[in-house]
Amino acid sequence: MSAENGGAAFLVVYLIAAALIGLPAILAEFVVGRETKKNVVDAFRNLGGPAAALIGVLGLFTGFWLLSYYSVVGGWVIQYMTGSLTGAYFGGPEAYFGQISEGTGTILFHAIFMVVTIGIVAAGVEKGIEVGTKIMVPSIAILMIGMAAWAFTLDGAGAGYEYFLSPDFSVIAENYQSIIPDAVGQALFSLSLGMGAMVTYASYLDGDDNLLSDGISITVLNTFVGVLAGFVVFPLLFAQNIDPGDAGAGAVFVTLAQAFAELPAGRIIGFVFFLVLLIAALSSAISLLEVVVSYFVDNFDVSRPILTVGIGTVVFLLGVPSALSIDTFTMFDMIANNILLPLGVVLTILFVGWIYGGGAVAELRRGLGSTSGFGPVWLWHIRTVVFLAVLGTLALSIMTFMSA
């Protein structure tokens, strides 16, 4: 997305969004989850009654919606991993993407990705999710650092760094209607906001955990990995004389594949790159599915494995249209990132900022080790800066969607 929106211009807006919107919004979801120790629907219901529970219902729906087409992307990544080793896409990366991105074959790999995700979530928090996260998160960082170090040695890396790190603010001014919603939407998605994931995560935290330090750690780690990806992608594109502005949504699945095809060790490098993507995709998919599963586990007398298989099957079926049509996939993605996620954050901020209010500040102070003035400042910030910024982004997104 950074390639499509001017490189550094997008990065600047994304970093601002992560710091000024993402981190405060994470804390808003944290206090709801830890205070109640409930799934996203019951958490809002306990604090605000049936009307507030609708915010949680929206989170469940968003999780369903996102995972349905996100799993399709996971299937693409699996095919590109194997395609890297066999050289299947080396003869024509664009034609290869056309073959694997829609059709009955795509459904198979969509199913494979969902089966792996279901298996991890069905095993539970301790045996499945925690073990998987402890393996996946460090693996992403280590592999990405290694690839960034390799990309540094490429001819043309300097031009890639310049494109990625030297912002042209006129690009933002001329394209704010697309750059701002895309950057904010990407920040919300990468931090798992607006879908109930952070509420669910915080429900497992202890009362003496420092929510602020946890929120900072999540924000910094996600931003670090995202920036690292830029240090891999842009040197590679410029080394192969590929215009990043033409990459768009195909930056990974077409343009980078073309670059790997032209490298001496392209098969190995491509495999490692898509392996990193697969690990990251699984990590996100697990959190999305857990949001939905946790609600049904808490409210229905059915075992977690059975519920997970049933819910995962429904998600898989919802994703079939995206697997069969790239246009449907694009529509699902636009609705999720530009409408559902910002809407979820807006409603959460309204509830936490104006209804939960003082209770939210008190919950945030637990584990901080002091009674400093951070809580009231944070409350003011989410009531004004975060709320207005995300509401404005949502308005721009709706305008863009309606005019498309």
How far apart are alpha carbons 62 and 339 in whole angstroms?
Answer: 10
Question: Within 10 A of 149 (CB to CB), how many other CB atoms are there?
Answer: 11
What is the average per-residue pLDDT within 147-154?
83
State residue 270's pLDDT score: 86
Question: Quick one: CATH architecture of 8-403?
Answer: Orthogonal Bundle (1.10)
Which is more confidently placed, 402 or 190? 190
| Phi, psi (degrees; rounded to nearest 5) at 277 | -60, -40
The tens digit of pLDDT for each residue in 306-320 reads 999 999 999 999 999
Kindly tell me if the per-residue pLDDT of 6 is higher than 60.
Answer: no
The tens digit of pLDDT for each residue in 338-396 reads 899 999 999 999 999 999 988 999 999 887 766 568 889 999 999 999 999 999 888 88
State residue 180's pLDDT score: 82
What are the extents of the domains in the chain?
A: 8-403
Kindly tell me if the per-residue pLDDT of 337 is higher than 90.
Answer: no
- Residue 156 region by backbone torsions, left for phi larger than 0, else alpha for psi between -120 and 50, else beta: left
Q: Please give, one letter per residue, the 3-state secondary structure of 304-327.
A: HHHHHHHHHHHHHHHHHHHHHCHH
SS3 47: helix
pTM for the whole structure: 0.87
The tens digit of pLDDT for each residue in 103-115 reads 888 999 999 999 9
Kindly tell me if the per-residue pLDDT of 33 is higher than 60.
Answer: yes
The tens digit of pLDDT for each residue in 244-253 reads 665 545 566 7
Kindly tell me if the per-residue pLDDT of 2 is higher than 70.
Answer: no
Proportion of the chain above pLDDT 90, given as a percent: 41
Q: What is the CA radius of gyration of the chain?
A: 21
State residue 229's pLDDT score: 85
Which is more confidently placed, 173 or 35? 35
Question: Within 10 A of 155 (CB to CB), how many other CB atoms are there?
Answer: 10
What is the average per-residue pLDDT within 228-242?
82
The Cα-based distances of 100 to 171, 195, 240 in angstroms read 34, 29, 24
For residues 383 and 353, the answer to whether their CB atoms sit within 8 Å is yes
